[in-house]
Amino acid sequence: MKVRKIYTAIDETLVEGGRDVFPTARVCIVAAVIPNPWAGQGFVKDLGPGIDATASDLGQLLAPEVIKQLGAPAEAYGKAAIVGTNGEIEHGSALIHTLKFGNHFRDAANASTLLPAVERRGTPGSHFDIPLKHITDATIRSHHQTVEVSVPDAPHPDEILVALAAASTGRPQQRLADLSTEQ
């Protein structure tokens, strides 16, 4: 797997709704921009060889880095794959919707839930949102949040941008009742 670029962004919210946020709400995104393993091949029926050659290495690269850059235990997490215009959305899905990729992040975050995801086609600098959910209980509303990402020069037409995001807390100043109160 060849990586053209690693992109890291950290978002810290110190004040929300006119009130201090304590502890500071921190979200970290780490993305890798790689060649699309299926670019230029036309319709590829069996994506397995490309998944085997790429997904685990990509998860192994990104997962520990996003936790390290977060600088705190992860409480919420999510993933994304943005495919350049010469690829199929399925190419991004193939890389991130496999345990070969996701288990690296679950292990690094001490998590057990499925990772929420976004996958889409995009051009360099496209904005996309990564949905986040709690790492052990996807019904915990305070951790349902979204982080917006844009990498200025990625993906190129024959690339895939794969990103992981982790949050150290739930939404700042969250006040929604627990889901069980509505059941």
DSSP the chain: ---SEEEEEEEEEEEETTEEEEEEEEEEEEEEEEE-TTTTS-S-S--HHHHHHHHHHHHHHHHHHHHHHHTS--SEEEEEEEE-TTS-HHHHHHHHSSHHHHHHHHHHHT--SPPPEEEEE--TT-EEEEEEEESS-TT-GGG-EEEEEE-TT---TTEEEEEEEEESSSSTT--PPPGGGG-
Q: Which residue, among 75, 121, 114, has the nearest Cα to 97 in the 3D structure?
A: 114
Arithmetic mean of pLDDT, 128-156: 95
Give residue-wise pLDDT tens across range 60-119: 999 999 999 999 999 999 999 999 999 999 999 999 999 999 999 999 999 999 999 999
As a whole number, mean pLDDT of residues 110-135 equals 97
Instruction: Tell me the residue type at 55.
Output: A
Contact by Cβ (8 Å): 168, 26: yes
Mean pLDDT, to the nearest integer, of 127-139? Answer: 95
Mean pLDDT of 155-177: 95
Q: pLDDT higher for 178 or 20?
A: 20
Over residues 12-22, the mean pLDDT reads: 97
Mean pLDDT score across all residues of the chain? 96
The Cβ of residue 175 has, within 10 Å, a number of other Cβ atoms equal to 8
Q: What is the pLDDT of residue 40?
A: 85
Phi, psi for 54 (deg, rounded to 5): -130, -45
Q: How far apart are the first and last CA of the chain?
A: 47
Q: Is the pLDDT of residue 175 over 90?
A: no
Architecture per CATH, domain 5-182, reads as: 2-Layer Sandwich (3.30)
CA dist 47 and 136 (Å) reads: 30
**Mean pLDDT confidence for 165-183:** 85
